Structure 1
Amino acid sequence: MEDHSLVLSMAEQAEGPESAALVRYWLARQPEGFSVFRLISSGRIVAFTTRLVLPTPPDEADIVADPVVAAAWRYSQETAPVRPGEHVAMTRFSIYPEHYHVPSRVIDLSNSRVQAEAMRARGRAHGFLVYHDHAAWAERLHVDATRTYHRMAVAVEDAGFEIRDSLHWLYGTGFPKGQDVGKLIDRRRDDHPARHRFTAEFAALRDSVGWTNPQIDALFGFNGMAQHWTTQRRSASVPTVEQWQRLKAEMGFEAPAALDDLVHELNGQKNTPGEAWQNREVIGKGHRVRAGAGVFPQLQSDTFNVTAPATAAAAHWDGWNTALKPSHESIVLARKPIEGTVASNVLAHGTGAMNTAACRTPPGDPEGRWPANVLLSHAWAVDADGWIVDGCVEGCPAAELDRQSGLLTSGANPRRRGADKFRDVYGNFKGQTACKPIRDANSGGASRFYPVFRYQAKAPTSERPRLPDGTVHPTVKPVALMRWLVRLLTPPDGLVLDPFAGTRTTLEAARLEGFDSMGVEAKAEYAELCCLRLHRDVR
Structure 2
Amino acid sequence: MGEWKLYRGDCREFLKTLPENSVDAVVTDPPYELNFMGREWDRTGIAFDPAFWTEVLRVLKPGAHLLAAGIGRMHHRMMVAVEDAGFEIRDCIYHIFGSGFPKNLDLSKAIDRLEGAERPVIGVDLYHARRIPNCRPALNVYSGPDMRAGADFKVTAPATEEAARWQGWGTALKPSVEIWVLARKPLAEKSVVENVLQWGTGAINIDRCRIVYRDNDSWHPGATKKISEVGPYVYNRGWSGEGTMAASPHGRWPANLVLSHAENCVKSCVPGCPVRLLDGQSGKLKSGFMRAGTERSNLGGYSGAMPALTMHDTYGDSGGASRFFYCAKVSRNERWGWCRKCSRVVLPEELDVHREERHDVVVHPTQKPLELMRWFVRLVTPPGGLVLDPFAGSGATLVAAVLEGFRCIGVEADPEYASIAEARVKAACGEKVSAAVLVGDGMEQLTFF
Q: What TM-score, normalized to structure 1?
A: 0.52
- Indicate the residue corresponding to 1:525 in structure 2: 416
Larger radius of gyration, structure 1 or 2? 1
- Tell me whether 1:445 sits opposite 2:371 in the alignment: no
Structure 1 distance, partners of 2:177, 2:12, is 36
| Paired position in structure 1 for 2:377 | 486
Q: Output the amino acid matched with 1:492.
A: P
Identical-residue share of aligned pairs (%): 46
Partner deviation per Cα, 1:461-497 (whole Å, 9 max, x = no partner): x553551574332222111101111111011221111
Inter-partner Cα distance in structure 2 for 1:435 and 1:504: 48
Amino acid at match of 1:376: L
Checking the alignment, whether the CA contact within 8 Å between 2:143 and 2:149 is kept in structure 1 is: no
- CA RMSD in angstroms, aligned pairs only: 3.9
Report the AA paired with residue 407 of structure 1: K
What residue is the counterpart of 1:38 in the other structure?
A: none
Give the drift of 1:345: 1.9
1:345 counterpart SS class? helix
Cross-structure match for 2:445: none
Residue 337, structure 1, aligned to residue 263, structure 2 = no
Q: Does 1:371 align with 2:263?
A: no
Change (3 A) 1:532 1:175: same
Q: Equivalent of 2:278, from 401, 421, 438?
A: 401
TM-score, normalised relative to structure 2? 0.61
Mapped to 1, the partners of 2:429 and 2:13 lie a distance apart of 38
Structure 1 residues 145 and 443 mapped into 2: Cα distance closer, same or farther (>3 Å)? Answer: closer
1:361 to 193, 197, 211: 211
Alignment of 1:92-491 (within 5 A): 116=45, 119-120=48-49, 145-188=71-114, 274-276=115-117, 278=118, 280-286=119-125, 287-288=128-129, 297=146, 302-339=151-188, 340-362=190-212, 366-379=249-262, 381=264, 388=266, 390-414=267-291, 417-419=296-298, 429-431=307-309, 435-437=312-314, 439=315, 441-456=316-331, 459-460=332-333, 462-464=334-336, 466=338, 467-468=345-346, 470-491=361-382
The answer to whether the 8 Å contact 1:361/1:450 transfers is yes
1:132 paired residue number: none
The Cα offsets for residues 400-447 of structure 1, whole Å up to 9 and x where unpaired, read as: 11111111012423567252669998xx93346x9412x4x2211110
Corresponding residue pairs, total: 316
Choose between structure 1 and 2: higher helix proportion: 1
Higher RCO (C-alpha 8 Å, min separation 6): 2
* Alpha-carbon displacement from aligned partner over 1:251-297 (angstroms, at most 9, x marks no partner): xxxxxxxxxxxxxxxxxxxxxxx232x1x221111244679999962
Q: Alpha carbons of 1:490 and 1:391: their partners in 2 closer, same or farther (altered >3 Å)?
A: same
Q: Residues of 1 paired with 2:187 and 2:378: CA distance?
A: 21
C-alpha spacing 1:152/1:465, structure 2 compared with 1 (3 Å): same
Q: Which runs of 5+ in 1 are unaligned?
A: 1-78, 87-110, 124-143, 189-273, 383-387
- Structure 2 alignment gaps of length 5 or more: 1-7, 16-39, 53-69, 134-140, 215-247, 339-344, 347-359, 431-449
1:40-59 superposed matches below 5 A: none
Counterpart position of 1:25: none
Distance 1:488 1:84 in 2: 28
- Report the Cα distance in structure 2 between the residues aligned to 1:369 and 1:423, rounded to whole angstroms: 25
Q: Which digits, 9 at most, give the CA deviation of each residue in 1:161-216, with x for residues without a partner?
A: 1211111111112112211112222222xxxxxxxxxxxxxxxxxxxxxxxxxxxx
In structure 1, what is the Cα distance between the partners aligned to 2:12 and 2:212?
A: 47
Note closer, same or farther for the CA distance 1:478–1:446 as it changes in structure 2 (3 Å cut). same
Residue in 1 that maps onto 2:28: none
What is the rounded CA distance, in whole Å, between the counterparts of 2:284 and 2:145 in structure 1? 43
Contact 1:360 1:366 in 2 (8 A): no
Greater mean deviation of Cα atoms: 392-401 or 466-475: 466-475
Q: Is the 8 A contact 1:290 1:301 kept in 2?
A: no
Where 1:517 maps in the other structure, the secondary structure is strand
One-letter amino acid matched to 1:187 = R
